Structure 1
Amino acid sequence: MKPGRLAYIDSMRGIAALLVVWMHNFQPIATGALRDLIYDVVDPGKVGVIVFFAISGFVIPYSFPRGPAPIARFTVSRILRLYPAYWLSMVAWIALMAIAGEALPSARTILANVTMAQTALGQPNIIGIYWTLFIELLFYVSCAVAFALGLLYSARFVFAASIGFLVIALLLAVARFYLERKAPVAVPLSLSIMFWGTLWREATLNQSAQHRRYAYWMLALYLVAMPPISLLAYDIDLGLEEYWVRYMLSYYIALALFMLLSTRIRMEGRTAVWLGRISYSLYLFHNHAKKAIDLVADAFAPGLNALARIALAVALSLVLAHAIFHVLEKPAIELGKRINRAIADRAPRGAAPVSLDP
């Protein structure tokens, strides 16, 4: 483990990714009590995604490097951390669609997805899970702007940002209810959770009383605001089998899980940490593994039952994620470090505040 790196945060990433993998594999075959659970009570995949967002808030504001050109170096590291594996996942998914004989996305949709900002460009996600990555981009931009203005490490600013995005989520929920249109309630709500994650880091890791106070105030606001936001936004199903209770409870459970795993139960075992290290590729490629197993099984073993297919898909997901991390992600990260060293060597000298290495 790299000095200064928080092993339990890596473990949480692995758990979050497994929740998403579990949901996407079992949701299509769920019946009876299991279907009632994941459609009416709690969405494990959403729980995992919300935990991911809280982790981003815990980590990203502290990933601006010391020394000169911190924003440029932050941008390079984020681009090379996210985009190479993401682009590979796009290419691989389109190839699987072609093999399956499915209609391919338009050139406009593909080009928009290359940017990872397809939501802002009015184009659909080539893979459904990409919606979360656009929110990550928005958070990175928000952090960079706040850092440039000298506000990112201000407890009051982070608290205000978390409240502000929560208010926007509530307003969009009202609009969604009255207009019966798919207003993006999850975007500001997720950003609010991210900034709450920043408060939680300072409260738990650096023992800041001010951040702790703000973090608990935000938790109280979530407790009060989530029922009306969920009821207004998701009481009417607009085509995604939405249900407000499931939406609300998923947020509550995710926040509770994040708090538990970052305080009382800090998992630092080798397997859990390994899952965290490969979690990004696991998140990006688990749908590919499922689709590939289904294609092969349909062609050569049509009698293979659903549970056996899921077991093979999960195993393939882990193998793919491990390989892609070492072959693509890790070299891209190292390339980013080399580029950033060159930027630092050529840039005017200056210092920027920073905390622990994420």
Structure 2
Amino acid sequence: MVAYLTKSPEIIGITPHYIDRLMPPVPWFDYGSFGVAVFFLISGFVIPFSLKNKKPARFIMARAVRIYPTYIFASLTMMLFIFMTSRFYWGAAPEFSFWNVLANLTLTQLIFDQRSMDAVNWTLSIEIVFYLFCAVFRGKILSGSVSLIFITSLTVCLLTYLSKGMPNTYSIGEFKLSPYGIKMCLLFMLFMSIGILFHYHLEQRINSRQLIIYSIALFAIVLVTWYIGPIADQFPNSPMSYAYALLLFSTCYALRDKFREFRVLSFLSSISYPYYALHSVIGYATLRILVDHNVGVAAAFFITFAFILLLSTLLHYTVEKPSIFLSKKIA
């Protein structure tokens, strides 16, 4: 199952953002956090494969070509949708500042304290930080260095503690730098590194006993860093959801030879990244408009799903597939 999901981990991160509106609440569990956590683990697991045949600069170039064209086109589509619905449905003009748009399109909005335009691109910002980490320490990761993972995690934990008194944002004129956003990126980069440990196990760099011990130890450091960091108010629901995600990922990894490909999921997997990039604002706005016109919640959900599915399919074939082809050519 893990091998299948790794084709496009965004498929895991998408569904909970809609499902949590329909499913009953579960104590100490957040559907959205759970989906994002599985997405992070899968990404941490598969990215080291991309490091093998590419030098750091080429790796970063390939990932940029893979990520940015699709995301930029999805964001421009979302902005057009916002402009049209704001003007012709809600009767209010949308506000987009140059710096806000630039930070969002470059996925640096967390670092530079800019409001997210779609409420989901924070995960992609963390992905970018993780790519940079992997590029810088490519040799160590390919050699199966466990010490790299734990030295990094303990350093991040210590820096998070020492910086507790720092302002969330430093401003110099219009320029802003966000220690809050940086610490958030580093926190989830540590969680993604658990996926690297599973990669080490698959490559027989560590044995099963070591994988269990190291994963538990690293997750414990993540929890401590989370508790002393800028988003400590998310305890206990979000951290527990990440624990559940780790349990699911571990189970699927252990049973990875038992799963078979399912054609419908294969298709959804192929378009999951554009779907992820498009689904939030366009999806919620479409749901709201449909419900305002007396469409039932369940029907509105499926109409919205079909609408985003159509947009995602178009974006996949016109932008994403060519960018995937180009990224593979960067060797």
- 2:171 aligns to what? none
Tell me the alpha carbon deviations over residues 227-272 of structure 1, each in whole angstroms, 9 at most, x when there is no partner: 55555458974xxxx4x11022111001111112222253522222
- Which one of the candidate residues 289, 300, 304 is aligned to 1:309? 300
CA contact (8 A) 2:14 2:35 kept: yes
Deviation at 1:83, TM superposition (A): 0.6
- 1:153 aligns to what? 142
Deviation at 1:318, TM superposition (A): 2.5
- Residue type of the alignment partner of 1:276: S
Q: Secondary structure at the match of 1:118?
A: coil
TM normalised by structure 2 equals 0.80
Q: Secondary structure at the match of 1:116?
A: coil
Deviation at 1:129, TM superposition (A): 0.6
| Cα distance in 1 for residues equivalent to 2:157 and 2:298 | 38
* Percent identity between the two aligned chains: 27
- 1:196 aligns to what? 194
Deviation at 1:297, TM superposition (A): 2.6
- Residue type of the alignment partner of 1:49: V
CA contact (8 A) 1:163 1:218 kept: no
Q: Secondary structure at the match of 1:120?
A: coil
- Residue type of the alignment partner of 1:94: M
**1:59 and 2:59 matched:** no
Q: Secondary structure at the match of 1:200?
A: helix
CA contact (8 A) 1:81 1:329 kept: yes
- 1:246 aligns to what? 237
**1:129 and 2:127 matched:** no
Deviation at 1:102, TM superposition (A): 4.5
CA contact (8 A) 2:190 2:222 kept: no
- Which one of the candidate residues 36, 40, 43 is aligned to 2:30? 43
Change (3 A) 1:267 1:230: farther
- Residue type of the alignment partner of 1:164: T
Change (3 A) 1:114 1:260: same
Structure 1: segments with no counterpart, 5+ residues: 345-358
CA contact (8 A) 2:107 2:124 kept: yes
Tell me the alpha carbon deviations over residues 6-54 of structure 1, each in whole angstroms, 9 at most, x when there is no partner: 434237553343234424xx1xx78xxx34x3xx521111111111111
Tell me the alpha carbon deviations over residues 69-107 of structure 1, each in whole angstroms, 9 at most, x when there is no partner: 733432332112101111012212222222213432211
- Residue type of the alignment partner of 1:284: A
- Which one of the candidate residues 285, 301, 308 is aligned to 2:278? 285
- 1:116 aligns to what? 107
| Cα distance in 2 for residues equivalent to 1:161 and 1:12 | 22
- 1:337 aligns to what? 328
Computed over aligned residues only, the root mean square deviation of the Cα atoms, in angstroms, reads 3.1
| Cα distance in 1 for residues equivalent to 2:19 and 2:217 | 30
- 2:15 aligns to what? 18
Q: Secondary structure at the match of 1:41?
A: coil
| Cα distance in 2 for residues equivalent to 1:229 and 1:41 | 19
Matches within 5 A, 1:211-290: 212-222=208-218, 224-225=220-221, 228-229=224-225, 231-233=227-229, 237=233, 242=234, 244-264=235-255, 266=259, 268-290=261-283
Deviation at 1:217, TM superposition (A): 2.3
| Cα distance in 2 for residues equivalent to 1:281 and 1:162 | 34
- 1:319 aligns to what? 310
Deviation at 1:320, TM superposition (A): 2.4
| Cα distance in 2 for residues equivalent to 1:194 and 1:246 | 19
TM normalised by structure 1 equals 0.75
Structure 2: segments with no counterpart, 5+ residues: 87-91, 169-178
| Cα distance in 2 for residues equivalent to 1:85 and 1:155 | 32
